[in-house]
Each structure stands twice: as structure tokens, then as C-alpha cells.
Amino acid sequence: MVLSDWLEGLDYELLQGSLEVQVSDVSYDSRKAKEGDVFVCMTGTRVDSHLFIPQVEEAGVRVIVIERPLKELLKAVSPQVTVLRVKDGRRALALLSAARFGYPARKMITVGVTGTKGKTTTTHMIKAILEAAGKKVGMIGTNGTVIGNRVTPNLNTTPESYQLHQAFADMVEAGCEYMIMEVSSQGIKMHRTDGLFFDYGLFTNISPDHIGPDEHADFAEYLYYKSRLMTMCKVGLVNRGDEHYEGIVKDASCRLYTYRVAEEDGAAADFEARNIRYVAEENFVGTEFDVTGRLSMDVRLGIPGLFNVDNALAAMSLCSFMGLDKQRMSHALEHIRINGRMEIVHTSRRCTVLVDYAHNAVSMESLLATLRNYHPKRLVCVFGCGGNRSKDRRYSMGEIGGRMADLCILTADNSRYEKPEDIIADIRSSIEKTGGAFVEIPDRRQAIEYSIKNALPGDMIAVIGKGHEDYQEICGVRHHFLDREVIEETVKKLGERA
């Protein structure tokens, strides 16, 4: 390829050299730069990659994209190197990466999902529905990049643009017809999604989050970047029940539709969930509800909670635009399991045991309130808190556990460089003020085993905080540990007694 073939949509100024130079790849890490690369310089908060121009030239790079004026870099840039100047290096990286991989996202039907809560669950539900309909699907998000049975961890919910387009290309090569991804506000702000135009965009909800240094200045900025998805898609679907609905759709340029859980009076939506029932049976814990509006069907959802009704309605509403069979949609949702997200690991006459990623006060309170709707004999919560993090989280989770659970089993999470006993002591200091019942078992495996061995008939046990994580970090070292595996092993050992 020649450089000129890769410049679609990119605003640039050619400062020196030729656009007809041969190129083969794009790089932005000077340590990985090589001959044939287009090296993109970016001015970050911690590192300015313009400083590494001499090193990438030495590595054989002959095309460099810069943000700063060339006169500031004359001593660093050789005359034989082609130099383009752009306003934003991150945007340039996104557009060049798309071109380098042959615009793979355009070869699939694409779905982007954003929102404060529910992104991961909703994308998994969409994937399950599509796969039940016989479609091959690729997915990118918090739980990694999924192509078939291969899962690759991601550093960010929305990876860097080069990794995104590389993943899209892998999906196309694997025969994926659909691509679903979580679109974070940070991903939009940092231009990782520049140049993407989704076939469908879905906005689940928004509440204050990700506000602070290196994230968003305030809620207004957070909302602004989240709402950009509605300018980056052909068809947009938005939660009509969200209190910030008007702000979400203010600049929308897509064909817009709405959904909502119609528990209370409110503005009508195109898709509505009604008549919600909480179901707890020996082999099924979840909800049943009716969908009305542009889609009409009865649903049996194999994940507990009202907020998962919200997520399922969003997934079904979006998939309805694709003309999928209702029976297959229904079957997918009845049998769905999402790793670490309200994941029912064991159900029996004696007890139900689930795993969830709830690791802060807001998510813990929401989870326990949801489980109360199933009227368990006792609601037992197994949890700890991460080390080397704000202590406020420990105090608030202890207070919520003491107030909302019948029994809390305090244990280790990712203690990092702290002692688990010290973290538990902080949790204890707030749980004691509530008068709630608790026991302390620092070893997480023993804590989970204790919760199941001592379950009373009708108990519901929530093992929370780590969810899908398959490790436990102790003194900076990650050791394999997966809550689901420990639960399954314990149930197997107990046999009929579980």
C-alpha cells in the first residue's frame, strides 16, 4: 500500500516528503515501531511520543504524523521522512488503523452499546440472541474480545483504536456477520471510536460515574460523550425511563426509538416491559414479563432482577430490527448465563448460589434489593473489598451489607499489598454499627464453602465483588481463583446435602 491510500477522512497538512511512499502498518509505541510503519505521535498527559522521533527513525520509520509544529521538531525529523501534521493524533490513529486493516467494521453489521450500567450484560444478551438465531458474532467489552471460543483480555472496556480494528479484521476473517461492542465515554473522548459508524446504537442509562482526574471533569462532560453514540449510528435505541433522556437525545442524528420498563407512569415508549413477575424455582431463578409495543411477546429471563429486565428489553428491542425469530429470542434469554453478572451457579431445594461483580456500594445495594424480591429464607452475602483503594468503599459496603443482608461473611477480595484482616477490620467497623449479623473468614475459598455448608433451606447466597475475575491478587501477585469454580467444587463435594 501507499500512504495516500490510507488518508480517507483525515484532515492533514503535508509538511515534507511524498504521499506515495510505501507503508505496511501503523504504530504509536516507539518501542514497537519498525520499517514500513506510519508512526503516529501523540501528546499525552504523561508521555509525549514526539520525543521519540529519533528512535523510530532509527528503527526504519519513514512516515511520521505529528500534532506539534514542525519547527519545534526540526532537529528530530530527517528531511527524507514524510511528515503529516494533524490536529489530533488519536483521531489520526483511529482513521489510519481502520484503513490499515481494510475497514473491517464495514464488512459486518455493527452494534454499539453505551451507558453507565448494563453495557456488559446487554451486549452478552444481544450476542446470545443472535447466536440462537444461527449468526456468528464477535464481541468487545469489559470481559474481553470474544471471537468464537477465543477470549482475549482488554486493558480498557473500549480498547485503543488500533486494537479495535485489528479485532474487527480477525472477526471478519473468522466469518463473523455481527460485531457488538461496549462503547465507553472515555473511548469516545479519547477518539478510539473515531471513524466508526454503527448500524445500531443502544443507550442503557446514565448516572454520575467516571468523574475525576484522567476521566471526566463533571457529569455534563460525561453525559456529552456518552450521548455522542446517538450521532454515530443509523438506528438509535434509548431508555425512555432514564431521567436524563432529553440530554441523551438532544443531538441525536439517527433514526431514534425508545424502550422502558413500564412499572410506573411515564412517557410511552416504542418497546415496553409490563407485568413483571419474580420467579424462584428449584431449577430456575429469574423473571417473567410481557413485551408490548413494536414487539409483542412473553419472556422468561434466566437472570434475576428488575434491572436485568431493563437489559433484556433493550437487547430484544434492538434485535427486533434484525427480523429474528421470536421463539429463538425467547429461548436464548431463558437459558442465558453471563460470566460473573448475576450468574446463577447453583440452585436446589436447599439454596441458590450466585456470583456477581458488585464491588461498590451502589451496585451492592442494587443487587441485595433485587434479591429481596425473591423472598429468601435468608439473604447471605459473601464479600470483601480490594486493597490499596479508598477506604470509603469498605465502610459503605459494610453498612449496606449489615442493613440489607441477613448474614454477611466477610472475606478477602484482591487484597493487593494490604493484609486481608486489616481490610475486614475496616468493614467490620461499619457493619457493627448496623447490628447486622456477620462472621469473618479471611480465606475466600473457606468463606464460600462455609456459606454453602451452613445454608438453610430457602437461603439465597450472593458471592460478590469479583464476578468474572479469574484471579486473586495478593502482595502484587495474581493467583488463579474463580468464585464459580469454588462454588461448583463445593457443591460437588457436598452432593445431595447442597
Pick out the residues of the known binding site.
Answer: 30, 115-121, 156-158, 184, 192
Residue 372's Cβ-count burial label (10 Å; 0-12, 13-18, 19+) is middle
Check if the beta carbon of residue 295 is closer than 8 Å to that of residue 320. Answer: yes
Phi-psi region of 470 (alpha: psi -120 to 50; beta: other; left: phi over 0): alpha
Q: Among 127, 104, 96, 119, which Cα is nearest to 23's?
A: 96
Which residue ranges are tagged as binding site for ATP?
Answer: 115-121
Lookup result for grid cell 472496556: 157
Pairwise CA distance, residues 422 & 420, whole Å: 5
Check if the beta carbon of residue 117 is closer than 8 Å to that of residue 307. Answer: yes
By three-state DSSP, how is residue 102 classified? coil
478 strand-pairing partners = 473
Residue 173: alpha-carbon gap to chain centroid: 24
H helices of 137-271, in order, are 161-173, 185-189, 219-227, 245-249
By three-state DSSP, how is residue 310 classified? helix
Query: N- to C-terminal Cα distance for the chain?
Result: 62
Count CB atoms within 10 A of the CB of residue 95: 23
* Residues sharing a CB contact under 8 Å with residue 105, sequence separation 6 or more, in sequence order: 98, 165, 168, 179, 196
The grid coordinates of residue 26 equal 501503523
